[in-house]
Each structure stands twice: as C-alpha cells, then as structure tokens.
Structure 1
Amino acid sequence: RTAKMEAREEHIRESWIKAMEARLVRDELEKCHRSEGVNHYENCKWLVDKYLVMLKENKVCL
C-alpha cells in the first residue's frame, strides 16, 4: 500500500468514528425527548447543542 492510500483510509476511518459518535448523541437525544416530555426543550438543550456542533464538524467524507 502506498502512504497516500493509508492516509485516505485513516481519514475515512476517523470520519466514520465521528459519524457514529454523532449517531450515539442523536439516540440519547431521542431518549431524552421521550423521557422528559413537555420539559424536553429545557432539559435536553445541552444534548441538542452538542448534536448540532457534531453535525457541523463531523461530516462523513469519502
């Protein structure tokens, strides 16, 4: 393998890890919304903020 291919594979691997982390946060956000009911806007805000940052920063690039 060439160094360029290995670097590309490493980038793809890191990208997928970040995407899966965002997915886990999204799943936790869904649980929070269900469990908090009408108070979810207030009690889940920190998860929403974290998820939005992750969406902006962790795009999957192939």
Structure 2
Amino acid sequence: MSKLPSTEELQATLKDRDHQIREQWIKVYEARLVREELTKCHRAEGVNHYEACHDLVQHYLELLKDAKVKGWRQIDRE
C-alpha cells in the first residue's frame, strides 16, 4: 500500500502546478502579443512585409515551439 502524502507535500505540489501552468500561460500570451505585432507589421508594410517583418516572424516561430498549455495532468506525469 502506498503512503498518502502529507499536507505540506500536497501544498508544495499544488504550488508547483500553479507556477508551471502560470509560466505556460505567460508564454502563450507572449506569442499572442508578437502575433498581434506581426499582423500590424504586415498591414503597414504591404508588399514589403516579407523583408520588413522577417525578424518578427522568426521570433514568433520560436515562441510557438513552447507556447502550449499542457495542463496539470501532463505536469504530474512528467
């Protein structure tokens, strides 16, 4: 039979879950902000957006790699 975790262990687990999920949401929101800036750049630059917005596109693609909220069940399985 497995031993039940103590109250302190449960609180630490919940605190860790909250922290990790908060960090995931921050990454998602940062990607959203960059996407909005990219949209503005595309509209402002018109046909030159391929050259003018290239840096934003690269940054957005990097952010998309980690911009996912996995939820607490995924966190507990790791």
Q: TM-score, normalized by length of structure 2? A: 0.75
TM-aligned CA deviation for residue 58 of structure 1: 2.3
1:24-54: per-residue Cα shift (whole Å, max 9, x none)?
A: 0000000000000000001001000000000
Q: Which of 19, 31, 36 lines up with 1:22 in the alignment?
A: 31
Q: Which of 11, 18, 22 lines up with 1:9 in the alignment?
A: 18
The runs of 4+ residues in structure 1 deviating greater than 3 Å are none
Residue correspondence of structure 1 range 1-62 to structure 2 within 5 A: 2-62=11-71
RMSD, matched Cα:
1.0
CA distance in 2, matches of 1:16, 1:57: 10
TM-aligned CA deviation for residue 57 of structure 1: 2.0
Q: How many residues align?
A: 62
CA distance in 1, matches of 2:29, 2:67: 9
Where does structure 2 lack aligned partners over 5 or more consecutive residues? 1-9, 72-78
Q: TM-score, normalized by length of structure 1? A: 0.94
Where does structure 1 lack aligned partners over 5 or more consecutive residues? none
Q: Which has more radius of gyration?
A: 2
